[in-house]
Amino acid sequence: MKKIIFILIAMVGMMSFSYAQDTAQIAVTVTGTVINEQKEPLAGVTVAVKDQPGLGISTNDKGEYTIKANKYQWLVFTSVGYDPMEVLIKDQLILDVTLKTADQKAMDEIVVTALGRQKKVTVTGAITTVDLTTLKTPTSSITNALAGNAAGVLAMQGSGQPGSNASEFWIRGISTFGAGTGALVMVDGFERSLTEINIEDIETFTILKDASTTAIYGSRGANGVVLITTKKGKADKVSINGKYEASHNTRTFTPQFVDGHTYASLMNEARTTRTEEPFYSAEDLNLISNQLDPDLFPDINWMNMFLKPSALTQRATLNFDGGGALARYFVSGSYINEGGMYETDENLKNYNTNANYKRWNYRANVDMNLTKTTLVRMGVSGSLGKQNLPGGNYSEIWASLMGQNPISIPIKYSTGQVASRGGADRQNPWVLITQQGYIENWENKVQTNVTLEQNLKFITPGLRFVGRFGYDNNNNNNIRRMKWPEGWIAERQRQSSGELRLNRTIAEQLLVQQSSSSSERWETLQGELHYTKNIKQHNLGGCCNTRRKKSEYRQLWR
């Protein structure tokens, strides 16, 4: 009896579920009128079916609409200047909607454009204002945080090497070929690099995407423009802020290689399937497994021996701001330390062969009101970066780690000689990482700028002039101290006395130094004339811009 009741209940439930599904798929025609809080019809209101791209219409001059949808779907009503509204379709097929005026604060939201600050509601071009909290990650370059956090931005990190791991990024893909494909970056109105900027110094981060917003920059803005304004002081008491962050970085993927015994067994199998004699005998395999003769039958996991599982990244920032009605200031300093993942030789006390990057940033912005209509902004910023690398070639290190099999050579022979099979990817990874000296790359950047903002309302209201002068200096120093030890390879058969038969493959190179330096200077002079006028509910604006840039480059080899 209980089984019969249970079956009946299940059948009724299935019928109800089927009926509900059929009801939800019933197509209906919904009509209605959209009005505002003053009972006035609203034309041009978008009426769309939620989560159904393409299913949408607009209201006519009388605020009326007609749309086809399914029962129990949601209709979404949206219009500029009004809060969006969602209505569920049930049995009532005439749905009259009243939209409420949007919050004035949202209407007055300001965005930074090429022509200055404008109300967001008046901007028709493709502009994205990036939420800075999504970019505050413990990395040496802000470019590594753009992917996935800025709409329309594609970013690719080509290297994980500390100091060389900044991502290359594009706005809406690559727009030009044969020329520069990167976006134009403007910091406080000056063309500068995005790589070294401290995220804690940024006030606004805006991306201009289409031609209507980048036209003022000409061909330089063909690949999009990034506009950054840095923080300025506020007329208030002194405010001091500090932050310390630490994180561990690891490789996304590290190839795993077989051990020596497995490698030798697979080599034998490859030969026997081709009717050839096995290369390793059963005695040889036993020597590899038990490491009874590590000189001739080593078993080394090169990846695990010379690569750390992770590396520490640290970042510290300290800034303070304040001022009064006549002058305001913002001063900041930061330090970042990115560790590398190479192991080092503990016997080397005088220098470090691990990859490492350190950078010190500073910035000082001062705003002064010379008169009620004249504002002068002065800024000094810069960075000092030091990159440390192993003396071995970066590509050769990884080619050797990947190409050197576990039974080819030991790190050193028992007699003290360094093992080496030759050049390129057959070198000893230990030598490439720890025994070929080290490289130091220093980069010193100093950026200065002065901006004059003059209100010309005494000529006509809404007219103002902005003049800018910038002087940037970039110095690079590269020091490479190179050496390498003798390399030896042992024959497979020992001498009758049991000693190794060693042949030299690489001659010793004593420590030598190579250095080079370069400097680059830019002078930028800009002038802008802006005019804005509000006529009732209409906003009229225009801008005239001129720019001159001079650069000088020098290089010295020693």
- By CB atoms closer than 10 A (0-12, 13-18, 19+), residue 325 is exposed
Residue 12 is predicted with a pLDDT of 43
Residue 79 is predicted with a pLDDT of 85
Residues 6+ apart with CB under 8 A from 413: 295, 419, 488, 490, 500, 502
Please, what sign has the CA dihedral across residues 33, 35, 39, 42? negative
Helices (H), strands (E): how many in the chain?
Answer: 8, 27
Residue with tokens 């802000």: 142
Helix (H) or strand (E) holding 34: strand 27-35
Helix (H) or strand (E) holding 230: strand 225-230
Residue 456 is predicted with a pLDDT of 92
Q: How far apart are CA 13 and CA 25, in angstroms?
A: 19
Residue 471 is predicted with a pLDDT of 95
pTM for the full predicted model: 0.73
Alpha-helix runs per DSSP H in 215-281: 260-272
Q: How far apart are CA 245 and CA 163, in angstroms?
A: 18
Residue with tokens 């209409």: 538
Q: How far apart are CA 531 and CA 192, in angstroms?
A: 27
Q: How far apart are CA 455 and CA 369, in angstroms?
A: 12
Residue 367 is predicted with a pLDDT of 93
Q: How far apart are CA 347 and CA 416, in angstroms?
A: 15
In a 13 Å sphere around the CA of 204, the CA atoms on its Cβ side amount to: 19
Q: How far apart are CA 102 and CA 534, in angstroms?
A: 21
Residue 374 is predicted with a pLDDT of 92
pLDDT digits (tens, 9 = 90+) for 36-76: 988 889 988 889 888 776 667 888 888 999 998 888 888 99
- Within 10 angstroms of residue 102's Cβ, the number of other Cβ atoms is 15
Residue 8 is predicted with a pLDDT of 47
Residue 50 is predicted with a pLDDT of 83
Asked if 457 and 373 touch (Cβ cutoff 8 Å), the reply is: yes
Tell me the β-bridge partners of 207: 128, 226
- Within 10 angstroms of residue 513's Cβ, the number of other Cβ atoms is 11
Q: How far apart are CA 407 and CA 421, in angstroms?
A: 12
Taking 50 as the pLDDT cut, the residues of the chain under it are: 2, 6, 8-10, 12-24, 106-108, 121-122
Residue 19 is predicted with a pLDDT of 41
Q: What's the token pair of residue 77?
A: 């009503």
How far, in Å, are 9, 79, 173, 455 from residue 458 at the CA level? 85, 39, 46, 8
Under DSSP, the state recorded for 196 is T
| Closest to 204 measured CA to CA, from 102, 140, 125, 110 | 110
Q: How far apart are CA 449 and CA 525, in angstroms?
A: 10
Residue 20 is predicted with a pLDDT of 42
| Closest to 449 measured CA to CA, from 183, 113, 187 | 187
Residue 18 is predicted with a pLDDT of 42
- By CB atoms closer than 10 A (0-12, 13-18, 19+), residue 383 is buried
Residue 155 is predicted with a pLDDT of 80
pLDDT digits (tens, 9 = 90+) for 376-434: 999 999 999 999 999 888 888 888 888 889 999 999 999 999 998 866 567 889 999 99
